A and B are shown apart, each in its own frame.
Chain A
Amino acid sequence: QVQLVQSGAEVKKPGASVKVSCKASGYTFISYDIIWVRQATGQGLEWMGWMNPNSDTTAYAQAFQDRVTMTRDTSKNTAYMELTSLTSEDTAVYYCARVVVRGYCNAGSCYTGWFDPWGQGTLVTVSS
């Protein structure tokens, strides 16, 4: 079955960087985009950015533009998200998800891309 398995929890000090992995199985990895979303404890979902594993093209949310890098290793069917200059506000669960259909506009109608499945999440705790 289609599955995304993420790396384990991380504890980092302020100013450090973290790299989370997302291993795909059950489908052709390069055929679907991957997105990253984070969720602070008790809070909602925040879209961080998008990566095309085939072309290695990325797009990041403005809020993370200067600190996030999304990469992939096609030989390992794995996507990575690295976030630098961590602060306590980056403490959150980070999710990867497969983009089933990318957002697009056609014949006057515009569609939001949808995401399925999601990885199990990786808790990143930033604490001194």
Chain B
Amino acid sequence: QSVLTQSPSASGTPGQRVTISCSGSSSNIGTYTVNWYQQLPGTAPKLLIYTNDQRPSGVPDRFSGSKSGTSASLAISGLQSEDEADYYCAAWDASLNVVVFGGGTKLTVL
């Protein structure tokens, strides 16, 4: 069972906006910033969002992140078929002294 809680699945049709949530506690998301990783099928994770809402170069502005209290969200607008992937949130946990990940959300583009 993951320390950060994500819904196992999400879906949307092309062009839609979808939101993926990540819930934690005061020892992780409540204190530390959140990063998001995208894992396309059969590949390694890739950095998607860092420090809650910052996009690395090359990541389309269709992807956006936010954080409030002990929860964080990843929003994907203008959904495309190539966005079909697993998405993981991550944060440092001050009680466990490790980076903790969410269980991942599998996004399906219908």
- Interface of A, secondary structure class, is strand
In whole angstroms, how far apart are the Cα atoms of A36 and B43 in the complex? 16
**Contact assessment for B92 and A61 in the assembled complex, using a CB-CB cutoff below 8 Å:** no
Assess whether A128 is interfacial by the CB under 8 Å rule: no
The residue that A47 contacts in the complex, of B33, B100, B103, B104, with Cβ under 8 A, is: B100
**Contact assessment for A118 and B50 in the assembled complex, using a CB-CB cutoff below 8 Å:** no
- For chains A and B in complex, what number of residue pairs have CB atoms within 8 angstroms? 77
**Contact assessment for A110 and B32 in the assembled complex, using a CB-CB cutoff below 8 Å:** yes
A residues 28-61 near B (Cβ < 8 Å) are 35, 37, 44-47, 59, 61
Assess whether A114 is interfacial by the CB under 8 Å rule: yes
Q: What would 23 A/B residue contacts be, using CB atoms closer than 8 Å? A: A44-B102, A45-B37, A45-B88, A45-B90, A61-B98, A62-B97, A100-B47, A103-B32, A103-B99, A110-B32, A111-B51, A112-B35, A113-B92, A113-B99, A114-B35, A114-B47, A114-B50, A115-B45, A116-B56, A117-B44, A118-B45, A118-B46, A120-B44
**Contact assessment for A110 and B92 in the assembled complex, using a CB-CB cutoff below 8 Å:** yes
In whole angstroms, how far apart are the Cα atoms of A109 and B31 in the complex? 8
User: In the complex, which residues of chain B have a beta carbon less than 8 angstroms from the beta carbon of A45?
Assistant: 37, 45, 88, 90, 101, 104
How far, in Å, is B83 (CB) from chain A's closest CB? 19
How far, in Å, is B92 (CB) from chain A's closest CB? 4
User: In the complex, which residues of chain A have a beta carbon less than 8 angstroms from the beta carbon of B2?
Assistant: 44
In whole angstroms, how far apart are the Cα atoms of A90 and B75 in the complex? 33
How far, in Å, is A68 (CB) from chain B's closest CB? 13
Which residue of chain A has its CB nearest to the CB of B94? A110
Given contacts A44-B88, A112-B35, A112-B90, contact A121 B101 (CB under 8 A): no
Size of B's binding interface in residues, CB under 8 A: 29
Q: Mark A86-128, 1 if CB is under 8 A from B, else 0.
A: 0000000001010011010000011111111111110000000
In whole angstroms, how far apart are the Cα atoms of A47 and B92 in the complex? 10
How far, in Å, is A110 (CB) from chain B's closest CB? 5
In whole angstroms, how far apart are the Cα atoms of A117 and B31 in the complex? 25
What 6 new A-B contacts, CB under 8 Å, besides A47-B101, A111-B33?
Answer: A45-B90, A62-B97, A95-B45, A111-B32, A113-B92, A114-B35
